[in-house]
Every structure is written in C-alpha cells, then in structure tokens.
A and B are shown apart, each in its own frame.
Chain A
Amino acid sequence: MAENKDMISIRINDQKLEVPNDITILEASNRAGIRIPTLCHLDLHDLKMVNQTASCRVCMVEAPGRDMLVPACVTKVHDGMEIRTDSLRAIRARRMSVELLLSNHPNECFTCAKNLECELQSLAHELGVREIKWAGEKMQFPKDMSSDAIVKDANKCIMCRRCETMCNEVQTCGILSAISRGFDAFVGPAFNIPMVESSCTYCGQCVAVCPTAALTEVNHTDKVWEALNDPDKYVVVQTAPAIRVALGELFGMEEGTIVTGKLATALRRMGFDAVFDTDFAADLTIMEEASELIHRIENNGTLPMLTSCCPAWVKFIEHQFPELLDIPSSCKSPHIMLGTVAKTYYAEKIGIDPQKMVVVSIMPCIAKKAEAKRPELTKDEESNVDIVVTTRELAAMLKEAGMDFPNLPDSDFDRPLGETTGASVIFGTTGGVIEAAIRTAYDWMTGDDLEKVDFKQLRGMEGIREATVKINDMDLNIGIAHGLGNARKLLEDIRDGKSQYHAIEIMACPGGCIGGGGQPYHHGNAKVVKKRQEAIYREDKNKKLRKSHENPEIIKLYKEYLGKPYSHKAHELLHTHYEARERI
C-alpha cells in the first residue's frame, strides 16, 4: 500500500474508503468490492494492455455535485468525493447505454459464434435489459471471410476499440483502425482491403479481446467431423502443449488444471485413428533447431538465430522486417513437422497411403490455420496438415459429442508420435522453446549430461527477458520476447546492429501459446494465463525425461528414417523458407 500522504478519503454508496489519490472510480470501487459494469474497458495488467476509450458509457456513475454522470473507468477520484453507483439515475443510464448499443446490433444470439461468451450479451442480462427499445437502422456491412484464420463481422462491432489497442499498441501490427464516421463507422484495415490482403499476422489477439463476435476465428469443426465420418480416411490428430493446461476451463474446471490424460481419451472417443502429441514434434524441432544453432555458431553463420515455431511471428517479420529473413531458424513449426512425419515415416510404417491420411491439429492459435495453407507448406500434398482447430473449437466439438469431459478417465497418447519429454511441454509458454533448446544444445556442446535442467532465469512474464548461459567457455546470450511489440524492439536492435544475442525466442501472443488467440476467452482476467504457465512447468517437472534428445521415439525416428539431425533428408522434410511481404 502507498504511504498515507498519498491516500485520500472518498465515499462510494455510503461506504467510507481510503484510497490512493491517483486511481479511477472504477479501481476504487473494485477495492471496495463494488462492481461497476464495464464493456470497452480492458486492463490486462501483466500483459501490458489497457484499453481506456470510455466509448461505451456502460460504467456511468453518479458523483453528487456534478450535473452529469461520469464514466468510472476514466474519472479519477479526489479527496472527499462521494460516488453513487446504485442510484436509480445511474442504473437507468447504464441500462440505456446497453439498450442503445443493441438498437443496431444483429439480434442473432442463438446462432452467434459468441453465444454465451459474449460480453454484450451478459451485460444485457446483468443490467436487466428485457426489450429492444429502439429498433433502429441496422448496419449492413459484408462479412470479411477472406482469410483462412479470422472472420470480421463489422455489424457486431460496438466500437470499443479493444482490437485496435491490441493490434496497434501491444502487437504494433497497425492493421485495424476506425474507418469512416458516425453510423457508417467500422473497424477494418487500411483502404478497406480484405483482411487477407492486409499485413495481418493472424495472431488472433484481437479475437481474444473482442467482447462480441465482430472478430472470431474461421470455424473448421465441420471439416473435422466430415473427416472422422469418412470411412476411407485415416484421421490423425495432434494436440499442442498449451491445450492441456487450458481446455479444462471450458468445462468448468479450475484454471491451470492439467487435463492431458482426459484429452487423449476424449480424442480417441471422438474417433480419431491415431492420437498424437505435437510435443513429439516439439522435441523434433529442438533436434533440428539446436543443431542449426550450433551449426551457425561453429560456422560463423548469421546470428542471432530466431525461433520459428510461431507462425504469427513469422508473418510479422515477413511484412515488417523483410530485410531480416535470414535470421529465423529454417525449422518448420512443430505441428507442421508432425504432419510431415505422420504422412511419411508413420504412413510408411503402418502401410497407409498418405493421400488417405487426414492430419488434424488442435492448436491454441488462430495463425496456425493460415500457416497450414501456406503454399510452400502445402505444395507437397502428402506432407501437410489438413485441418487446424482451436482449443475453443475442440471444446465445442466435445460438447457436441456429449462428452462428460471432467469425468473422463486418463489415457496416454499413441506411439510413436505421442512419446514426449518435459522439454517439449514448455513450448507452450514464453521462454519454453529456448529453454528446451538450451537443455539439448548444452549437452551436445559440452558432451555432459546436464543435471539441473531448470533454467529459471529464462522464465517469467516480463515482455523482454535476457539471460546468459555459460556453455564451455562461451557465454551464450539469450533474448526472449513475447507480444509482437516486444519482438519489434529486439528486431530493431538487430537491424541497427546493436544486438548482442546469439539466440532469441519470439512468441507473438502475450504469455506465449498459453495466451494464444485460440485459447478459452480470458474475459479480461489475465491471471488465468499465469495459471496456465504454472501448470506447464508442473507438467514439465513431472516428466521422467526432460530433454528432447532423450526421447526414445525421436532417437528411433532419426535412426530408422531421417539419419542425423540437420541431415539432407531432415532438411527436405523439416525445414522451410520465408518470403518478403508487403506492409500495408
């Protein structure tokens, strides 16, 4: 608590409070346990995002002495201030704000993608809206379904500007802006181009913070059901590390519950022919990426090397720093690697025509949907990922299938592409990929068997972190950034020749994949991301094997099929390239 000299006395609904003098009415009332409804307001604390546009007027309160009601989210308290959040005038004003928003909102809650997840819907309920009072003119914007990842439906936009704050200030992509004026105003890319023509990375953080269904992911669940019901198809599923620490939330389980075993059971009961784990491919990624890092260090290659697991980050560098495309690792992202290995090595092993195989990825990510459609990753039809669905889409499917998820028994993933290590689990959080890479690079470069595998200095939630790891007589400088705005800072340093790092891990989403655009909606509670992170490290700790190169099925894969890490065959199957893209 701050010192007394900064504290002032105020009253909220007759409750006397001592509060710091620089906070808003909203913050003060939160301290007093009095809830003031909000809609446009969003404060993600740790993730460093604050949206304070005060555009929705849902938080209006009465401050006696002032003629007008004031918005609690931006009005600062002052000494002796008396506030009423519960007066008839305030209650009616808040309800009217929502009624006005509803006057030109499509009334299609039943069929809306955000049904029961919509913040406007729950506010209407909470504030006692029982009729659409003003049936005004409706907006008639066409839905933007141009991309493989994000659907933009401006008719459902309430102009809260959360997406703009996220896209411009946190991610620094600058794709979304308010366009036009008054009733005709909407949020969209420059020149009103379709999303697919913009420089959007599809990180999906706009989707993660949109209170309504103005921004949602492209739904691919029907494609999965169709594949599962096609007797000619052999359907392989893989699930990313971040799913197992978040999926439970959508079934009322406590935040940070690990549901790995139930997840495997659920997928098997859905009818997938093989239930694999993207973690396996994360271990494979480390084999290639650690080799590439050592190769670059030993051969005076381009440094720093940047991780390439995150497709939103890859698209970001392609648009924003096309002159730096030689610095990311050439490794495909783990789920694409798994698709490739499933349709080559595994298909051969079980004697199945890869053309008949369908690979489904369950991802915490919206960008993976677009990544799976990239031409260089789909040119070889026999080695790609066919369908990507998010954590949220999977939960919806499990509900459609009537699965009592919290009470499912545990089971394990199938072999061989379901054998994993602790190193691969931590891919799901910021800092995890580079820690996994160091665990392997350290052993390989020193010839030792590292016992203390926890590199705690690489962990945490700070936007940019750095650490130095001593390997032999070399000080390996490591940088970590999550959130594309933080990534931009590291990239500018590299461009200006100021970077001292050897390796940098970048994840587009704040918190890494655990905070991905396809994860259960946090509804402004950023603490949930932290709990998922803790769960990831718990899962790592509980693993018998903690290093990627000790994964027995990985060792077997190289022995039987790929040869050595970074070999010609590995290059052919597991590596890719990037292209410079326009910045709009």
Chain B
Amino acid sequence: MTTPAEISVPKEAKNLPKEKFDELENFISSLETTKGALVQILHKAQHIFGYLPREVQLFIARRLGIPGAEVFGVVSFYSYFTTKPVGKHTISVCMGTACFVRKADNIIEGLKEKLGIEANETTKDGMFTLKDVRCIGACGLAPVVLVDEKVYGRVKEEEIDEIINEYRK
C-alpha cells in the first residue's frame, strides 16, 4: 500500500530553467482550449521536465485557473506520472515470479546497497533511478535487469558492479 509520505512532493530549492517553462507555456497557448486538457498538458510537461515537480504542477494550476490540489489529484492518480526527478539511466529489476525464484531480490538488494538508494529513488548525482518492476516477459533469462532499453539476462550478484560501471563512464 502506498503511504501518504511516499506520494508527497518535496519542495525544491533549485530553480527550474525558464526555457522549459516557456516551452510549456507555448504548448498550452497553442491549445484550442484548456478545458479537459489537463492530462495532455501534464504529459507534455513531464516530457519537457522529465518529471512533475511541485513548481510545475502549480504553474499548470495557475495557468489553467484550477486548484493545485486538483492537478495533484490527477498526477497522483495515474502511475505514468512521476513527481520525482528520474536519473539519466533507469535500472529496472524484474520482480516477476520467474525472476523472483531466481533470487531477483538479492540483485535488487545489491543494487540498492551499491547505489545507496531505495527502489523508486534516484541517486544524488542524478545518474540512476532504481525501479522494481512487474514481469517484463523475459522469463527465460531470469533474473533480468533492464538498464534503459538494454536487457541483461541471468544476472549474478557479482556482475552488478560491472553493469553499473558501464554507465558511470
């Protein structure tokens, strides 16, 4: 179960680039009407910013003249939307049944330790986001790790460093 703390959106100190807001503004202005367009606008915003921080959600709320709570209600409803910045690379560990019986939990624990983050978090340097995902349909290769689009099959714990280092260069 998701607890409220997990879905809260932290206030960020860093300033988001103005050009990105301009790009979003241009998109919204190009729409014939903003009525019923919230989801579409959020998609665009996530594409531009990579995620939907508080400031972006409030920007959209003001622009559309609707409460911030309403925007957040929609953002929190759809699992596609993320309110946390995503790293340059996303490491997804398959936790489906086949991978699980082949010790995928050891793999993800090892990754958590090496990266110093929990699942669904991003490393401080912004390089990696770690995700536990449901079956990705490559059970023959279990346990499977995906880095962005690249598939690593029959992963062993001792290979974790090697995989990470490929992207750390």
Contacts and interface: CB of A to CB of B under 8 A. Distances in A.
Given A168-B67, A191-B9, A184 B72 contact: no
A142 B70 contact: no
B58 to A, nearest CB: 7
A179 B76 contact: yes
Contact of B68 (A178, A180, A181, A584): A584
A141 B4 contact: yes
A189 interface: yes
A175 B4 contact: no
Contacts of B76: 179-181, 192
B3 interface: yes
Given A140-B3, A183-B1, A192 B70 contact: no
A180 B77 contact: yes
Given A174-B68, A190-B58, 9 more contacts: A137-B1, A177-B72, A179-B7, A184-B1, A184-B2, A188-B4, A190-B71, A191-B83, A192-B7
Nearest to B8: A192
* Prevailing SS type, chain B contact patch: helix
B103 interface: no
A47 B71 CA distance: 27
A180 B7 CA distance: 8
B69 A174 contact: yes
A175 B67 contact: yes
Interface string B67-90: 111111100110000010000000
Interface of A: 137, 140-142, 154, 168, 173-181, 183-184, 186, 188-193, 583-584
A141 B1 CA distance: 11
B69 A177 contact: yes
Nearest to A141: B4
A190 B1 contact: no
Nearest to A184: B2
B67 A174 contact: yes
B137 to A, nearest CB: 25
Contacts of A142: 4
A203 B123 CA distance: 42
Contacts of A179: 7, 69, 72-73, 76
Interface in B41-84: 54, 57-58, 61, 66-73, 76-77, 83
Most B CB contacts (10 A, CB to CB) among A173, A178, A183, A192 go to A192
Given A178-B73, A181-B76, A584-B58, A190 B68 contact: yes
A415 B124 CA distance: 66
B73 A177 contact: yes
A430 to B, nearest CB: 25
A155 to B, nearest CB: 11
A12 B125 CA distance: 68
B65 to A, nearest CB: 10
A66 B1 CA distance: 37
A337 B150 CA distance: 70
B70 A168 contact: yes
Nearest to A198: B69
Nearest to B83: A191
A294 to B, nearest CB: 38
